[in-house]
Amino acid sequence: MKALVVRKDEESGKTSAAVEDLSVADLPEGDVTVAVEYSTVNYKDGLCIGPGGGLVRQYPHVPGIDFAGTVEESSDDRYKPGDKVVLTGWRVGEVHWGGYAQKARVKADWLVPLPGGLDSRQAMAVGTAGFTAMLAVMALEDHGLKPGQGPVLVTGAAGGVGSVATAILANLGYEVAAVTGRPETADYLTSLGATQIVPREDINETTKRPLEGETWAGCVDAVGGAMLARVLGQMKYGGSVAAVGLAGGAALPATVIPFLLRGVNLLGIDSVMQPYDNRLRAWERIASDLPMEKLEAMAHPATLADLPQLGADILKGQVKGRVVVDVNA
């Protein structure tokens, strides 16, 4: 089988990634062996393909935090050969070998049945990024967000999480304000359903004022850092921000004033260790609430051989939308 293998030079500490031929016997232990059909590229994948980012424990390593495919062998009663499955999270592709290979072996607990209405290619056009976006939308709804309450801000909107969040929110009837630092993506974001394009520089500067005008009914934030701090002070009373990423930094130079005077909620979204029932709920919502034509508009094809470059590009913020990796191409 072919796989993207990352190796580390012990002397220099540098890593290199290349497509290699491996044996099925090389796969790690697990309950279920899956014939992988598609994977995708997320920010974490860029780290695991390249510098490691503290995520990879042992080399050689096969990255790929997502995959979709068909069960080949299973020692667990929940899955049988021929079943279509999806995997996101559980530190697969980081600690455990992942989806950048033609076969993967994992624990049954980590898998979810492919939801009706989606094929494996579409599932990877969604991937962890889209799954995370759906979790964020669900969390905002669970905290009272409804269409008609005002614009919902999506930061990092042209990225993977942001693109899917924009499409889902627009499809559900929300007014979406999309933040981007790339003016050339405005037409793309409008095609996904954004009704307002917010230049990144308008909202990326810190302010000494802990509160500004009440502007946003909700927010899906993939940036963190100074932008998240600024957004918290612009939320409407009782509004919520779903925090999904830290592309702009892990520090949060904010005050508690928005929480105390406006009842703002900051909701942490983790996609890696989500319980099984919530995973099912999210995937079912994706199948029903994400327009497939919008998903196609944000998806770009790739092969295993393209991954070293794509990994470097996504770390620089140069990947738009979603990348679908055909591991058999």
Apex 97 CA angle, 18 and 325, nearest 5: 55
CB 267 within 8 A of CB 143: yes
Query: Exposed/middle/buried for 308, CB within 10 Å: 0-12, 13-18, 19+?
Result: middle
How far apart are the two ends of the chain, measured CA to CA in Å?
A: 12
CB 42 within 8 A of CB 127: yes
Q: Residue-wise pLDDT tens for the chain (329 aa)?
A: 999 999 999 889 899 999 999 999 999 999 999 999 999 999 999 999 998 888 999 999 999 999 999 999 999 999 999 999 999 999 999 999 999 999 999 999 999 999 999 999 999 999 999 999 999 999 999 999 999 999 999 999 999 999 999 999 999 999 999 999 999 999 999 999 999 999 999 998 777 899 999 999 999 999 999 999 999 999 999 999 999 999 889 999 999 999 999 999 999 999 999 999 999 999 999 999 999 999 999 999 999 999 999 999 999 988 988 999 999 99
Interhelix angle for 276-289 vs 160-171, to 10°?
60
Q: Phi, psi (5° rounding) for residue 156? A: 55, 40
Element (H, E) at 216: strand 216-221
List 199's β-bridge partners, or say none: 180
Percent helix, strand, coil in the chain, to 5, is 35, 25, 40
Q: Which amino acid is at 85?
A: V
Fold category of 128-268 in CATH: Rossmann fold (3.40.50)
CB 194 within 8 A of CB 177: yes
* Dist. CA 134–CA 72, nearest whole Å: 29
CB 134 within 8 A of CB 282: yes
List 8's β-bridge partners, or say none: 15
The 10s digit of each residue's pLDDT in 221-263 is 999 999 999 999 999 999 999 999 998 899 999 999 999 999 9
Q: Nearest-CA neighbor of 41 among 157, 159, 135?
A: 159
Question: Which class does domain 2-114+298-326 fall in?
Answer: alpha beta
CB 99 within 8 A of CB 36: yes
The 10s digit of each residue's pLDDT in 266-288 is 999 999 999 999 999 999 999 99
Listed in order, the ranges of the chain carrying CATH 3.40.50.720 are: 128-268
What CA–CA distances, in Å, run from 144 to 113, 136, 241?
29, 13, 12
Q: Nearest-CA neighbor of 42 among 168, 156, 185, 138?
A: 156
Q: Would you state the structure tokens that stand for residue 138, as one six-digit string?
A: 């669900």
